[in-house]
Amino acid sequence: MKRCIIFLLILISLFGFVTAVPAPSNGLNRNEIGGGIPEEDSSLITSEEFENHSVCDEGECIKINSGEGINQIDGRTELFGQKEYNDVLGGAYPASYVDLARYYSPVIIQDVGCTRFGDYITRIDYDGDYIGANNWDNLGERINEFPPIYEKERPLPAYVYYALMETNTHYFIWYALFHPADDYYCHDFSHENDLEGIVLCVRKDGTAYGDLRMVQLQAHWHFYQYIPPGETGIINDEDDIDGTIELDTTYPGVHPRVYVQGGGHGLSNEDTGDWPSVYYYYTGIAEDPDDVGYSHVGYDLLSIASEMWEQRKNCCGSGHLADNMADYQRFNFNVTGFGTRFDGDDGDDDAASFPWDWDDKDDGDNWVSGDWFMHPAGYHANRFGWSEPFSTDYIFHSFGFEQLGSDMYNGNQGKTVLLNGPYTVVSDVMLLPSQQLMIPPGSALWFRSNTGITSAGLATIGGSGDTTWLVKDADRSSGIKILDGMLKIYPNGGIVMG
């Protein structure tokens, strides 16, 4: 036993990380990160000092400090407190947030206009950077003066951004489609960057995935409301229902068919023109239409929270992603200091909005820019009549309460970098296979009671060289559980135990 411990200590001191024994894993329930960290006394554990703390083998431990330790239990490595870490893998749960986003993932039918690739959907950093004002120039080049012919300069793999908010009665599942340009060399009213939105309202009915009640689509500065075929439990109130939404049956799940205008990219429930169309389906693989053809193009999901919201302070002006710094202080939300528009200097300057700036110009003064995205429960509850109870109290909200989550899924081989910490883990976080959760220098994690981060399937939790994590809570029942993943503690970093 002692020889095993000494050997493990040597490995830790040399490499600064702990690698777990592979073990099977199941999906978890919810995940939220946000908030601040109380200032309390704590002790620092670095890789060099690990021999003064705890490494365990077969349930026997050398203590770290006040009962904390790294333990091997049934082939799982745990960073744990005085109480045994709860087995979050047991029990029956509703579908996780990312599973809900996959289950309801829309089929995107994208018309392609005069420059074809100018209408493909992709990610905001498709060109390798988070700079807004070079997306037009990096999209393509003119290879013939007259007639004008343009050729794309780089691949455009298909991604759809998503987010999820939850109340006591409903889920609100957001999807956002990004195009590097609007009307790319097609009309005089074009602009750099374009983002159009979709929100699904799903009733929590006791089943894993709930019941789809309404789909709202954005067409520029207007929102349109559609209900599934046969739906009778919603009536007009402040706003009108505009029709029904077709559901696609290509894959299991409930998949609204969303038609996207060529050039301007407004969304509709029906075909928008006579141009050729690209058919995008969620497959978890981001494909380029030019590689696989138009009839079936796979897309992957990316988190609005970690890919856009975490960039909200990347503002303003040249060299930044965003422009037009603003605050949102309505409906008991108090979120300050974020960019509302993509920085752009081709066509109309700064013409594309982030989700927290979306607005329907017909809604009047009661509903202003940002309300649709930041307070979807209030928007739905007040603008339509519902046959079921409709709560406006949020259980999970990534943006209004400075929380991040959505299973930390950010595309295959994705990386989530938490730029705006410190963060509080307020319910279980599941880091899915092939994902990385990176915590920059000086950031910290505060855990509420009985919560933890769990990684599985060779996921990684780590940071840069001088990262220090704060891991503590009131009754020391929280922690980090590594299944088939890796916890990296770098030589100049450490873990602060409360």
Read off the pLDDT band of 404 (50, 70, 90).
Answer: low
- Taking only the tens place, the pLDDT of each residue in 320-351 is 998 899 999 998 888 888 998 888 777 677 67
Distance CA 238, CA 39 (A): 47
Residue 396 burial (CB count, 10 A): 20
Q: In this predicted structure, what is the pLDDT of residue 69?
A: 35
Q: In this predicted structure, what is the pLDDT of residue 183?
A: 72
* Closest by CA position to 280, among listed 244, 250, 254: 250
CA angle at residue 90 from 85 to 92, to 5 degrees? 135
* Closest by CA position to 396, among listed 425, 416, 358: 425
Distance CA 151, CA 13 (A): 53
Q: Where are the domains of the chain?
A: 2-20+33-64+413-497, 97-386
- Taking only the tens place, the pLDDT of each residue in 439-494 is 766 666 666 666 667 776 667 776 655 555 555 444 445 566 665 566 666 655 66
